Amino acid sequence: MNINLPLKTLISALNNIVSCNVDENVMIHRITSLDSAGPNDLAVVLDRGEASVFDPVSIEAIKKSTAGVLLIQDSLVLDKKCLVVKDALAAFLQLADFLEKNQEQKLQNVGANVSMHPTAVIDTGASVGAGSNLGAHVYVGKNCIIGANVRLYPGVKILDRCIVGDHSIIHAGAVIGSDGFGYQVTKMGLKKIPQIGIVRIGSNVEIGANCAIDRASFDETVIGDGVKMDNSVHIAHNVKIGAYTAILAQTGIAGSTEIGVGCQIGGQVAIKDHTKIGNGVKIVSKSGIMNNLKDGETVAGIPAMPFNQWKRLTVCLLKLPDLIKTIQPGKTLQKSPIQAARLWIRQLFE
């Protein structure tokens, strides 16, 4: 999240500081994650919890980070500028609340020839480009930017600070910028991790009815130019989808996945979090993607495998019932296990 504030302003919002070895006058450009932070950024280091199935934060990852300042609970990280707090999640919650309450208040900016249903709402500071069309019960949140000639069908919700590019179409009931599913696991249950990023949608994008695209934890969930998305697709936080990719209905893409340019993703596909998918990849419907995919691959199945391999395996599985009927138990038992296995395999592929 872009903030451009001195560190001392952020410190003033916190009440659980243990120590700080940083000049409080230093300017902080962004609050962001450990892996994407630069020299002018504040990186929030959060543990997902003792009972979490997620991997703990790596000390090596902390040491390799180029973040200007770490917001962290542990002061034992050597040679790093740290704002050490008693509870990093509690501190992050305080910062998120402070920034929300103190965001700049601007007037709406509505371009020429914008068509709006009387029940549509444009909130404080939002901008809507010329020639756009907002249907019944559309909501455009605070400080959103909607490009020119955008069509928002009835019931679309574009939540605070999200961006929609020129000539894009979003169909009825879609929600852009809902919170990502981020929680810390504790003995007292799940504690919500603030989601302070945005969704950035490119130009000439079409998003189907009832899709949900979550805002990023810190930075941006990105939908590239020309992406086409069918109904009821879920895009989780921090996902990045390359230009001109097509995604069919009921597909779910888990957090921090990166998808290349010009991919074709079938219906009811499930893609694991933190997966990297290359350019021009084709994924057959109902596939489960558990690993990274290289440019140009075509895959199918659960877990996904090369398409030709999946076809051969499917044919073999279909032959199994008839094969079992043709093998006499007495004859099979007379052969050695290796001979019996060879017989089965030969008949399976005939």
Query: pLDDT per residue over 215-226, tens digit each?
Result: 999 999 999 999
Catalytic: 237?
A: yes
**Residue 339 pLDDT:** 63
Helices 307-326 and 337-349: angle between axes, nearest 10 degrees: 120
Catalytic residue among 117, 137, 167, 237: 237
102 compared with 126, residue with greater pLDDT:
126
Does residue 3 sit in helix, strand or coil? strand
DSSP codes joined into one string, 157-171: EE-TT-EE-TT-EE-
Domain-wise residue ranges, the chain: 2-101, 109-306, 314-349
Reported as a pLDDT band with limits 50, 70 and 90, residue 170 is very high
pLDDT above 60: residue 71: yes
**Residue 80 pLDDT:** 85
> Ramachandran region of residue 53, left (φ > 0), alpha (ψ -120 to 50) or beta?
alpha
* Domain 2-101 grouped into CATH 3.40.1390.10: yes
Class of domain 109-306: mainly beta
Mean pLDDT of 317-326: 69
Residue 57 CA, chain-centre distance (Å), reads 19
Pairing of strands 151-152, 169-170: parallel
DSSP run (H or E) holding 101: helix 88-101
Closest CA to 80 of 30, 16, 37: 37
